[in-house]
């Protein structure tokens, strides 16, 4: 599943990146495989999106979110 497929309020775990060119940039921003993320909100026109990762909010373009591969987590 891709980060771009999450709905606001959903959490997931980062698994990998499909774009090698962007992967270093994601790592520098705290998007590390194994890290839990949550989609906070989506802009009215769908781009950008805001996620919570490593304790802070991060805005990404929708196209960037499509290259972050995730697995969803179950809320208890």
Instruction: Put the strands of the sheet holding 68-72 in their side by side order.
Output: 56-60, 49-53, 36-42, 11-17, 68-72
Residue 76: per-residue pLDDT: 42
Q: Where are the domains of the chain?
A: 3-72
**Residues 2-50 pLDDT 10s:** 998 999 999 999 999 998 888 888 888 888 999 999 999 999 988 899 9
| Spatial separation of the C-alpha atoms in residues 58 and 63, rounded to whole Å | 15
Residue 74: per-residue pLDDT: 59
Residue 72: per-residue pLDDT: 84
How many Cα atoms sit within 13 Å of 30 on the Cβ side? Answer: 12
Give Rg (Cα) of the chain: 11
pTM: 0.82
CATH of range 3-72; options 3.10.129.10, 3.40.50.12500, 2.30.30.90, 3.10.20.30: 2.30.30.90
Structure-block tokens of residue 14 = 């980062």
pLDDT at 73 over 90: no
């Amino acid at each position: 599943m891709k980060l771009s497929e999450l709905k606001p309020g959903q959490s997931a775990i980062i698994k990998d990146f499909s774009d090698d060119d962007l992967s270093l940039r994601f790592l520098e921003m705290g998007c590390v495989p194994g890290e839990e993320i949550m989609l906070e909100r989506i802009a009215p026109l769908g781009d950008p999106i805001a996620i919570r990762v490593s304790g802070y909010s991060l805005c990404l373009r929708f196209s960037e979110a499509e290259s972050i591969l995730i697995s969803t987590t179950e809320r208890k």
